[in-house]
Amino acid sequence: MIYVDHHSTTPCDPRVLERMLPFFSERFGNSASITHSQGRNAASAVEEARISLARFLGADSSEIYFTAGATESNNIALNLLDPGQHLIVSAIEHKSILEPAKRLESAGVSVTILPVDREGFVAPDALAGAIRPNTRLASVMAANSEIGTIEPIRELASLCRERGVLFHTDATQAAGKIALDLGTIPCDLLSFSAHKVYGPKGIGGLFVRRGVRARPLVVGGGQERGVRSGTVNVPGVVGMAAAFDLRTSEMAEEGQRLTILRNDLWDRLLAAIPGASVNGPRGLRLAGNLNVSFERVEAESLIHAMRRFSLSSGSACSSGEHGPSPVLRAIGVSEALARGSIRIGLGKSNTAEQMTMLAEDLTHSVERIRRITAV
Ligand code: PMP
């Protein structure tokens, strides 16, 4: 099977795994047990990782908190809202933003779901227009996991800063793929995760700008300065720092390579398959992302027919749920077309040869499905 679902997750880079391994065995200490050398040894690895990640993001190490992944980071970020306050989120956020927003709404927070345009962009004017005197926080993702749209977060964060509103961005798909410098982007909170950039699963982080006090979801031993209690996942933290460290030198080149592969695939598919259309923008898009709709085809049948490729129809967190993608519906794709859409996520392992195969297989499978369903 050729893996083209890199938005869902990525394989752990062997160099990352190598850095993690000692922390499962000889360097097994609990980073909070600083009364002995094993504990201090783990604690120093965690602090080194914090410094390295802070450097990667243009932040200070005191602003980085480790979590179990971006889902938890997003939930902690939204936990800043109190009843009576107002929250703004975009219509194409991941479920780990939309679900806590729903829960907050039933607890007395007012929530505005900001529409996006046909390419998935949030308009700064629309965000500015949605701000009310009681708006506490706005959350707009840095890049979308289905259609790859890269949001203008610098502008969005700046206007929130001017209006005294906190700005959070879910950078799960963006961090480690596009340049994000918190030294120049006035964003107050940012969520990231290791497993989208060749790091391990179950580890992520939240940047919280100095002066903002994040509130914990779980309380206990007070680890991570009270923001996230629980024994720190030391191998995970070390692996995440190693994964992002590798991105420093590899991200730009990989981005260029994947853009070429992706655009080539895009052009081939539209040329070969009648009734095919691409969702999302051509520029300001994650390099490895392509989202294509096929008229008169059910994505489920197509994915099943594509025996040589691991594909998906959208977010893994929603797959298994039937119904068209809310992201595609939010950009104005019809329900029927949304049901005939697949997401392609290219990554490190993909080659030009595979793109030729992918285009051929998709062309044949779409033709065959249309032929069978037309009978
Ligand atoms: N936000 C976005 C945009 C994502 O794509 C994902 C992963 N599908 C998440 C949040 C959740 O991240 P994690 O798997 O680290 O909880």
Mean pLDDT of 212-229: 97
pLDDT, residue 319, reads 53
69 CA closest ligand 1 atom index: 15
Share above pLDDT 90 across residues of the chain, in percent, rounded to a whole number: 96
Instruction: Say what the pTM is.
Output: 0.97
pLDDT, residue 318, reads 55
pLDDT, residue 314, reads 75
The whole-chain average pLDDT of the chain stands at 96
Using the mean position of ligand 1's atoms as its centre, give its distance from the Cα of residue 172 in Å: 6
Using the mean position of ligand 1's atoms as its centre, give its distance from the Cα of residue 71 in Å: 6
Using the mean position of ligand 1's atoms as its centre, give its distance from the Cα of residue 264 in Å: 27
**Among the listed residues 185, 240, 317, the one whose alpha carbon sits nearest the alpha carbon of residue 66:** 240
Q: Which helix (H) or strand (E) holds 36?
A: none
Residue the block writes with tokens 């979801």: 217
Q: Concatenated DSSP letters for 141-176? A: -SB-TTT-BB--HHHHHHHHHHTT-EEEEE-TTTBT
> Is the CB of 235 inside a 6 Å radius of any atom of ligand 1?
no
Quick one: tokens of 212? Answer: 């903002």
pLDDT, residue 316, reads 58
Ligand 1 binding pocket mutation candidate from 6, 12, 71 (most atoms within 8 A of CB): 71
Q: Sort strands 166-170 and 110-114 into parallel, antiparallel or unpaired.
A: unpaired
Per-residue pLDDT at 375 exceeds 80: no
Using the mean position of ligand 1's atoms as its centre, give its distance from the Cα of residue 272 in Å: 33
194 CA closest ligand 1 atom index: 15
Q: Is 317 a catalytic residue?
A: yes
Ligand 1 binding pocket mutation candidate from 72, 76, 141, 145 (most atoms within 8 A of CB): 145
Mean pLDDT of 168-195: 98
pLDDT, residue 92, reads 98
Q: Which helix (H) or strand (E) holds 219?
A: none
Summarised one tens digit per residue, pLDDT across range 306-323 is: 999 999 987 655 555 668
pLDDT, residue 242, reads 98
Which residue has better confidence, 48 or 315?
48
> Is the CB of 314 inside a 6 Å radius of any atom of ligand 1?
no
Using the mean position of ligand 1's atoms as its centre, give its distance from the Cα of residue 370 in Å: 34
53 — pLDDT class (breaks 50, 70, 90) = very high
> Is the CB of 343 inside a 6 Å radius of any atom of ligand 1?
no
Q: Sort strands 110-114 and 289-294 into parallel, antiparallel or unpaired.
A: unpaired
Mean pLDDT of 162-167: 98
Ligand 1 binding pocket mutation candidate from 196, 233, 237, 286 (most atoms within 8 A of CB): 196
55 in helix, strand or coil? helix
Summarised one tens digit per residue, pLDDT across range 257-298 is: 999 999 999 999 999 999 999 999 999 999 999 999 999 999
> Is the CB of 317 inside a 6 Å radius of any atom of ligand 1?
yes
Mean pLDDT of 211-237: 98
Asked if residue 77 lies in contact with residue 205, where contact means CB atoms within 8 angstroms, the answer is no
Summarised one tens digit per residue, pLDDT across range 122-138 is: 999 999 999 999 999 99
Q: What is the greatest pairwise CA distance in the chain?
A: 74
> Is the CB of 19 inside a 6 Å radius of any atom of ligand 1?
no
C-alpha to C-alpha distance for 91 and 76, rounded to whole angstroms: 20
**Among the listed residues 27, 157, 174, 177, the one whose alpha carbon sits nearest the alpha carbon of residue 88:** 157
Q: Tell me the CA distances in angstroms from 115 to 69, 122, 152, one per residue in order.
A: 26, 7, 14
Per-residue pLDDT at 217 exceeds 60: yes
How far out from the chain centre does Cα 261 lie? 21
> Is the CB of 96 inside a 6 Å radius of any atom of ligand 1?
yes
Summarised one tens digit per residue, pLDDT across range 339-349 is: 999 999 999 99
pLDDT, residue 323, reads 81
